[in-house]
Structure 1
Amino acid sequence: MSQAIPPMLRMLNLLTLPGARSRKDPGAAFDKLVAQAERGYRPLGAEDLAAVEPLRLLLRAHAANPGLSPFGWATVQEAIRNRLRNRVIIRDVQARHPEVREQPVVAPVFVTGLPRTGTTFTYNLIARSPGNRGPLLWEMLNLGLPVEDPAERARIAERTAKRISFVDRLSPDWSQIHPLIATSEEEDFFLRDHSELHTTASAVPEYRRYLAGADLTDDYLLLREALQVMSFGQEPPRWVLKHPGNLWRMPEILRAFPDAQVVWTHRAPGKALASGCSMSESMRNMHYKPGAVDLEAIGAEWLTMLSEGVDRALAQREQLDEGVLVDVSYNDLVEEPVKVMRGVFDHLGMTWTEADDANLATAQDRPHHKGHKYTLERYGLDELQVAAAFAGYKIPSALS
């Protein structure tokens, strides 16, 4: 069943139609994005220009997608321009304040796992514990040195909230799938160049082939530099990060953050897979021409992406030093959240306090998105296919 196109999306496709001509020359379009990102800042040097070439490949892959709408083309360009702007701002701050490179980033925690496995719940509890923090969405979308004035922070957050509110008007389901809250912790995806989840909005097989063999250490070094900029001159927090694609990038994470620890949340993968497909369907309804969204293609893409990612993660975990990784079972987390989270805190060298009891109570009171329904069958999948694809994945449990 096709989704009705919101009137605002129809209007945006008409308004962005003239700009869609730039798809004919994605190389020139990318050069323009670089120039726009550099406007008002120092231009990127040769090393950085070489480092962003895979983003040129990503734009070329989007341009080659025949289903992408004019608005979709404008949106994927904006996402790439934002990544370029992050790098430009980081280099500008480093040039003006060379000492920012010495800002400590100590023992960060990466919370990761497949979608709908309890990552957000776990992430929020760790990030909101005293002495820790996760990057807020408004900070990542307005990267720069810390804003000390509370009133100015509130103004920037309000502007950011207005900027992202249109997503709910374009996709009635989005607030149920992944609500974007300007003042809340969000995924480090917004601070890095690359992730398989760039494929959520648009099928980009050329880019996915690149990622399959890519070493993303530079991407995580860029993340480290962004965190240094965001906390420059402040008492260094223990940063807590989250993104599903981090799961199969543990070697690159540890090269950029040698003292990092990883929390891996687990759940039967069928639920995660169906949720990811639903998210991609919603995004593609915003980015594709009417009738161009292929649900079975989404199912095939996500089955491959998540199963291959988990296989990589299982192989990588065997190479980790003792103490780097701690497992969290979703079922255990639901059954005994205090026991599970106290165990996670112990593993991370953290002390559970009354503040964490309060954070847990708040997290448990958070409304559940019961309106978001999804099934494997909608995307041409079934439990037997999922079981075969994830045959090597056994869910650990800490509870007896």
Structure 2
Amino acid sequence: MPGTALAIADLTRPVLSPAQRQILDHLEGLAVDLDPAALIDEAIQKTGLDDFGPADFRSRLDVYAAAADADSGNTNLNRLILHNRIVRLLSQRLLLTDLLHRYPEIYHIEIEKPIIVVGLPRSGTTHLVNLIAADARRRALPYWESQEPFPLRGEGPDVNGTDPRFARSVAEHESAMMMTPLVQAMHDRFPQAIEEEVELLDLDFASYVLEWHARVPQWRDFYLELDQDAHYAYLRTILKALTFLRGPRPWVLKSPQHCEQLGPLMRTFPDATVAFTHRDPVAVIQSAVTMLAYGDRIRRKEIDPDGLVDYWVDRIEQLLRACVRDRELVAADRSMDISFHHLSGNEMAILEKLYANNGTELTEQARAAFQGYLDDNPRGKHGSLRYDLQGHFGRSPAEIRSRFGFYFDRFDIREEA
């Protein structure tokens, strides 16, 4: 309920429910193969296809799978989740290549004037992108489609008109709610919610997203050395294919990864309008590590609060330093900076400026859709969490905030308790 404050007393020393324990114990003896060759064979068997497109992905797949395999802290459940994720990514890559072969006109589709939301996790990006997606003229990426953007050949809606990809996403969400029910109060990835296109970028095994699923510093280091222009170009091709399947509308996109990839982002989408969201990094970090620690009760054999907060303080600093360094790559008349403390209650004024910068008329129908979304989605709709950075992670807000003076100096950010 709105206004309900939840506290997770067992965050770092979890007390599992009988259902959680039963599932983890059941999978304990399962052999989970993360060998790239086996994963490739499984994707080929699943799709009946064998052309993955440009072969350079294989070296990245090898590093991706090896990083996941090397994380000895994973439960067998998380190893299985990672295995299934990689097979899904490979399968979708096969399906995309097949679609491009059959419909080469996809390459000629233009991705024009997207609005791209760029900001840290937990800084208002989800609220803003879902709000913009309420405009029926905009094309966005719902979670269910981000997981399976391309249907299996021969697979279509059932007698009720339900896409089987959506049905699978619903079943997955219900399972996730059973295993980690409080996620809804933190970041509920329900099937219709708008998701980050970084999930699509992962089809090229070139994004930072694996860092959210496992402890993979070797993948982080590898990813940071990649030529992202090539991979963002692959993302653009995916968006063209999705536009082909579901109609030509301007896209609204968002991802925190773009903070450290503004050069590739703007070279790939030169006519984009970018909305930067900014929030006290302490609030961002305590929210992110609390969410990750809560999920780790089923993902990991032991919770490591010190390692978790150390990693993400460093990672968030890295993202923000790159954003400050490259912010001027996005022209002032095609961008705006939005402070978290200014976002709530000022959405309409922000959207007016954003749409003006994008050269898009803010129609009465769009205004009504935006207001409808705001009315239906008040902040804290599913409750909120009571955070305890010191108690759970042994860090004070002042200690963490001291790392981010460069960010407060650059943008209008208000310290949060």
Question: Normalization by structure 1: what TM-score?
Answer: 0.89
Q: Which residue of 2 aligns with 1:187?
A: 196
Q: Out of 399, 406, 412, which is 1:385 matched to?
A: 399
Identity of aligned residues (%): 23
SS in 1 for 2:326: helix
The answer to whether the 8 Å contact 1:332/1:397 transfers is: no
Q: Which residue of 1 aligns with 2:360?
A: 350
Q: Give the whole-Å Cα distance in 2 for the aligned partners of 1:161 and 1:307.
A: 35
SS in 2 for 1:177: helix
Q: Which residue of 2 aligns with 1:270?
A: 282
Q: Give the whole-Å Cα distance in 2 for the aligned partners of 1:124 and 1:389.
A: 31
SS in 2 for 1:327: strand
Unpaired runs of 5+ residues, structure 1, are none
Q: Give the whole-Å Cα distance in 2 for the aligned partners of 1:252 and 1:13.
A: 41
Aligned residues: 390
**Cα 1:149–1:216 shift into 2, 3 Å:** farther
Q: Give the whole-Å Cα distance in 1 for the aligned partners of 2:23 and 2:260.
A: 36
Q: Give the whole-Å Cα distance in 2 for the aligned partners of 1:159 and 1:68.
A: 24
Deviation at 1:56, TM superposition (A): 2.3
Q: Which residue of 1 aligns with 2:49?
A: 42
Q: Out of 279, 285, 295, which is 2:297 matched to?
A: 285
| Amino acid in the other structure paired with 1:205 | P
Q: Which residue of 2 aligns with 1:375?
A: 388
Q: Which residue of 2 aligns with 1:175?
A: 184
Cα deviation code 1:146-165 (max 9, x no counterpart): 97999434554233211332
Within-5 A mapping of 1:153-168: 153=162, 156-168=165-177
**Cα 1:56–1:17 shift into 2, 3 Å:** farther
Q: Give the whole-Å Cα distance in 1 for the aligned partners of 2:191 and 2:281.
A: 29
Within-5 A mapping of 1:197-346: 197-232=209-244, 235-289=247-301, 292-346=302-356
| Amino acid in the other structure paired with 2:386 | K
SS in 2 for 1:232: helix
SS in 2 for 1:192: helix
| Amino acid in the other structure paired with 1:374 | Y
Within the alignment, does 1:54 sit opposite 2:60 as a pair?
A: yes
SS in 2 for 1:237: coil
Q: Give the whole-Å Cα distance in 2 for the aligned partners of 1:109 and 1:360.
A: 15
Q: Which residue of 1 aligns with 2:148?
A: 142
Q: Which residue of 2 aligns with 1:6?
A: 17
SS in 2 for 1:318: helix
Deviation at 1:37, TM superposition (A): 1.8
Q: Which residue of 2 aligns with 1:96?
A: 102
The answer to whether the 8 Å contact 2:133/2:139 transfers is: yes
Q: Give the whole-Å Cα distance in 1 for the aligned partners of 2:247 and 2:71.
A: 46
The answer to whether the 8 Å contact 2:135/2:366 transfers is: yes
Q: Give the whole-Å Cα distance in 2 for the aligned partners of 1:250 and 1:361.
A: 31
**Cα 1:256–1:268 shift into 2, 3 Å:** same
Report which stretch shifted further, 369-378 or 206-215.
369-378
**Cα 1:38–1:270 shift into 2, 3 Å:** same
SS in 1 for 2:31: helix
Q: Out of 123, 127, 131, which is 1:121 matched to?
A: 127
The answer to whether the 8 Å contact 1:137/1:185 transfers is: yes
Q: Give the whole-Å Cα distance in 2 for the aligned partners of 1:342 and 1:372.
A: 32
Report which stretch shifted further, 270-279 or 342-351.
342-351
The answer to whether the 8 Å contact 2:14/2:297 transfers is: yes
Q: Which residue of 2 aligns with 1:362?
A: 372
Q: Give the whole-Å Cα distance in 1 for the aligned partners of 2:289 and 2:411.
A: 25
Q: Which residue of 1 aligns with 2:6?
A: none
Q: Give the whole-Å Cα distance in 1 for the aligned partners of 2:188 and 2:66.
A: 29
Q: Give the whole-Å Cα distance in 2 for the aligned partners of 1:42 and 1:155.
A: 20
Q: Give the whole-Å Cα distance in 1 for the aligned partners of 2:245 and 2:397.
A: 51
The answer to whether the 8 Å contact 1:247/1:310 transfers is: yes
Deviation at 1:359, TM superposition (A): 2.9
| Amino acid in the other structure paired with 1:203 | R
Q: Which has the higher contact order (CA 8 A, sep 6+)?
A: 2
SS in 2 for 1:199: helix
Cα deviation code 1:312-341 (max 9, x no counterpart): 111111333443432111222224222222
**Cα 1:381–1:129 shift into 2, 3 Å:** same
| Amino acid in the other structure paired with 2:171 | K
Unpaired runs of 5+ residues, structure 2, are 1-9
The answer to whether the 8 Å contact 1:41/1:89 transfers is: no
SS in 1 for 2:333: coil
Within the alignment, does 1:106 sit opposite 2:99 as a pair?
A: no
**Cα 1:88–1:171 shift into 2, 3 Å:** same
SS in 2 for 1:117: coil
**Cα 1:327–1:3 shift into 2, 3 Å:** same
**Cα 1:234–1:10 shift into 2, 3 Å:** closer
| Amino acid in the other structure paired with 1:371 | S
Q: Give the whole-Å Cα distance in 1 for the aligned partners of 2:65 and 2:209.
A: 14
